[in-house]
Amino acid sequence: MRKVLSFVIVMIIFGAWQIGCARQEQEVMPLPMGAETNMDHGDEHKSGAETVVGVREIVIIATEFAYEPSTITLEEGETVNITLINEGQVEHAADFGDLGLHLHTQPGAKDSGSLVAEEAGEYEIICTVAGHEDAGMVGSVDVEHAHGEY
Q: Does a structural domain hold residue 86?
A: yes
What does the pLDDT read at residue 23? 42
* Residue range 58-104, pLDDT digits in tens: 999 999 999 999 999 999 999 999 999 999 999 999 999 999 999 99
- Interval 36-62: pLDDT, tens: 444 444 444 445 558 889 999 999 999
Q: Phi and psi (nearest 5°) for 115?
A: -145, 160
CATH of the domain at 92: 2.60.40.420
In a domain, 78, yes or no: yes
pLDDT digits (tens, 9 = 90+) for 116-145: 999 999 999 999 999 999 999 999 999 999
Query: Which residues face 115 on adjacent strands?
Result: 80
Q: Which domain holds residue 133?
A: 46-144
* pTM summary value: 0.67
Cβ neighbours for 12, distance < 8 A, ≥ 6 positions apart: none
Structural domains counted in the chain: 1
* Position 26 in a domain: no
